[in-house]
Amino acid sequence: MIDLDQLTPDGEQLRHAFGCFPSGVAAVCAMADGVPLGMAVSSFTSVSLVPPLVSVCMQDTSTTWPRLRRCARLGLSVLAEDHDAVCRALARKDADRFVEIDWTAGLSGSVFVHGASAWFDCSLHQEVPAGDHAIALLRIHGLRSEPDISPLVFHGSRFRRLAAM
C-alpha cells in the first residue's frame, strides 16, 4: 500500500512532480505603448466552447502580466516545435524580448508569433486568484489554426517534440 499522507510538499518537490506532465507552450502578447509586450506560458488550456474561453496561469511575481492585463486584446500563439528560441526570448528579464522574434500585430492590438500552430485573439474575461498565481480566463474573439504544425512541448524541464506512433 502507498502512503501519500506526508508533510506538505515543498516547491521543489511540486515542480519535479508537475514536470512529469507534458504541456504545450504558448505566447501571450499585445501592443503596449506602441511596442510589443509578451511572455511565455506553459499553463494554457481550453476551458469552454460557449462562451469561447481558454485559460493561462500567471505568477503573482510577474512584472509583464500587470501590463498585459490592461491591454484591450491579447494575442495567444501556440508555439510550434521549432520555437524553443522564441520561448527563451519571451522569458528574458532584461532584454528586448522581440528583437529576434518574427511577429505580427492584429488590428485590435493583439500580437502573434509567426509560424505558430494556432493564434487566438482574446480579451481578459475574468481573473481568479489561485495561490501564488492568477488564473486568467481569456475570451476568444477570433482564431486561426494550422493543425499540421506540431506544437512545442515542455516536459521534465526540457523542450521536446511529439513523435508519431
pLDDT of residue 19: 80
Q: 113 in helix, strand or coil?
A: strand
Please, which pLDDT band fits residue 5 given cuts at 50, 70 and 90?
Answer: low
Cβ contacts of 157 within 8 Å, gap of 6 or more: 19
pTM of the model: 0.90
pLDDT at 139 over 90: yes
C-alpha atoms less than 13 angstroms from C-alpha of 78 in its C-beta half-sphere: 21
Q: pLDDT-based confidence at 22, cuts 50/70/90? A: confident
- What are the tens digits of pLDDT across the range 65-114? 999 999 999 999 999 999 999 999 998 887 789 998 999 999 999 999 99
Condensed to tens digits (0 to 9), the pLDDT of residues 44-65 reads: 999 999 999 999 999 999 999 9
The pLDDT mean for the chain works out to 91
* The three three-digit cell numbers of residue 54, written as one number: 481558454
- Report the alpha-carbon distance of residue 33 to residue 40 in Å, rounded: 20
CA pair distance 34, 148, nearest whole angstrom: 33
24-154 to CATH, choices 2.60.40.2470, 2.30.110.10, 3.30.70.60, 3.40.50.720: 2.30.110.10
What pLDDT is stored for residue 6 in this prediction? 62
Judged by DSSP in three states, 13 sits in: helix
Percentage with pLDDT > 90 across the chain = 72
Residue 81 and residue 84: Cα distance in Å, rounded? Answer: 7
